[in-house]
Every structure is written in structure tokens, then in C-alpha cells.
Structure 1
Amino acid sequence: MFDRFSAYQPQLLSVLRIIAGLLFLCHGTAKVLGFPAVEGVPPPGLSLAGLSGPLELVLGALLVLGLFSRPAAFLASGFCAVGYWAIHGMQNPFPILNGGETIALYCFVFLYLTAAGPGPWSVDAAMRKKPYA
């Protein structure tokens, strides 16, 4: 029964990238643009928390578009790993106890996207299909 879903694997890879990028982008818009309004948003500045908003905004947008997908996913994965251990892991190493489930999941989704690529619904895929002059 589940073998029928295999035909949609490339498209679902694109869906995973787009949804993960949109959710990551929302973290950036909340921190940089104040939308949606979220309590406890770190102030902008030269700290990991202050730099997180612009990074989430830019990398999330690149992932949604599928532009420079592998480098963006690699940077986002590393950023999430550092964020997990610098913020959540210092409280407790277990994600369920330190509130770091989301950032840990992002880390590995982005690592997967680094290896798997953006999928067919991406700017990267569209640029590869253009003939070179």
C-alpha cells in the first residue's frame, strides 16, 4: 500500500523543504519584524540570540524558494546545533526537559536537506534545467 507513495518522493522532498523553511522563516519574522508578536523574543544585537532572527529570516527565505538550498540548509543545521547546545543543552541534555525539541528537529531536517537537495520544486532545480549558452 505504501509503495504508491514512492512515486511522490521528489515532490514531498520539496514540500518538506518549503514547510520547514516557512516555519524557520516565521521565527525570523517574529524576531526581526515583530510579526507575529511573541513574548520573550531576544533583543537584536551581537549575541547568538540577537543574530538568530536575521539568520532565520534569510536562511528560511532561501529554503522556501529553494535557492542555494544545500548551503542554506547546511548553515541552518549548524546554526540549530549550536543554538541547541548553547541555549537548551546548558539547562539539561534531554530535549523534552529543556524545551529544545523544535530546534533539534530543525537541525536534523536541515541536515537531511543538505544531503538530499531541494527537490524538483525549487529555484535551484529550475536553474539546472536551463540550457547554457
Structure 2
Amino acid sequence: MDFGFLAPYRPQLLSVLRIMTGLLLFQFGVAKILKFPAVPMFANPPTLSLVAGGIELVLGALLIVGLFTRLSAFLLAGEMALAYFIGHMFKTGSAVFHPLLNGGTLAAMFCFACLYLASAGPGPWSVDASRGKA
């Protein structure tokens, strides 16, 4: 099946991917740092979770608006890789690599989405594009 009809919209869809990825990461930062909404697993986060929340809050916001997109996405890809290997892989006490079993599916998906954004850039609907830095 050919989905060539979407080809003319690739630049705009790249912007949509960037915006939605940023929004979804931003919500985790808001929950960890600002405690909104009150998520029980983020009630008393350890220091590492606060650092991760700060990164997700700031870099997620930069992704949403498309400012310093490549750098922000690259750093977020690294953070999500660390989240997977530190927070999920050894969650059960022994190394469980399979994301479905260790709860790391979102971290893995965010990692590769951000890695793609770091290479593809922000798309046309971004501050970077308006500055000519895309």
C-alpha cells in the first residue's frame, strides 16, 4: 500500500512529531517538578527523578516551540536511554531487557523519537526555522 499522498506533508508532520514529543515529555517534567497532576509515583521523587524532571521540563518546552531543537532532542534521547537502562532494565532486581516486561516501552520510544528529531531537525513550524537555523 502506497502512502505517497502524505509526502507533501512531511515537513509539517515532522513539526507535529516534534511538538507532540515535546508536550509528552513536558508533562512528565511538570508532574515531577511542579507536582501537577499529583501522580503517586512522583510524590516524593529521589534526586535523580528531580534532575530528570528538570531536563524534561526545560528541554520538552524547547522542543514544543522548536528552539535549539537538535541539541534538545539529542540530550533528551540520551536521558531517555539512561532512563531505560537505569530506571527500567533492573527494575525487577535482575536485568530484564524486554521493554514490555520492565515497563520501559515509553522510555525506548521517546529515545528513538528524539534521536530522529536530532537528525531530522525541527520542521517548518519552529522558532529555529523562523531564525533560519533549521
1:66 equivalent in structure 2: 66
In the alignment, is residue 122 of structure 1 matched against residue 126 of structure 2? yes
- In structure 2, what residue type is equivalent to 1:82? L
Segments of 5+ residues of structure 1 without an aligned counterpart are: none
Asked if the contact 2:89/2:102 (under 8 Å) is kept, the reply is yes
Normalised by the length of structure 2, the TM-score is 0.90
Normalised by the length of structure 1, the TM-score is 0.91
The share of aligned pairs that are identical, in percent, is: 52
Q: For residue 50 of structure 1, report the CA deviation from its aligned partner.
A: 2.3
Q: CA RMSD in A?
A: 1.4
- In structure 2, what residue type is equivalent to 1:4? F
Quote the Cα distance in structure 2 between the aligned partners of 1:100 and 1:31: 18
User: How many aligned positions are there?
Assistant: 128
Segments of 5+ residues of structure 2 without an aligned counterpart are: none
Quote the Cα distance in structure 1 between the aligned partners of 2:80 and 2:19: 17
Asked if the contact 1:74/1:110 (under 8 Å) is kept, the reply is yes
Query: Mean Cα displacement is larger for which, 117-126 or 84-93?
Result: 84-93
What does residue range 1-133 of structure 1 map to in structure 2 within 5 Å? 2-41=3-42, 43=44, 47-91=47-91, 92-128=96-132
Asked if the contact 1:18/1:63 (under 8 Å) is kept, the reply is yes
- In structure 2, what residue type is equivalent to 1:58? V
Asked if the contact 1:43/1:49 (under 8 Å) is kept, the reply is no
Question: Which 4+ residue blocks in structure 1 deviate beyond 4 angstroms?
Answer: none
Asked if the contact 1:42/1:49 (under 8 Å) is kept, the reply is no
- In structure 1, what residue type is equivalent to 2:130? A
Quote the Cα distance in structure 2 between the aligned partners of 1:121 and 1:53: 26
Deviations along 1:89-126, one digit per CA (max 9) or x if unpaired, are 11321100011100110000000000000000000000
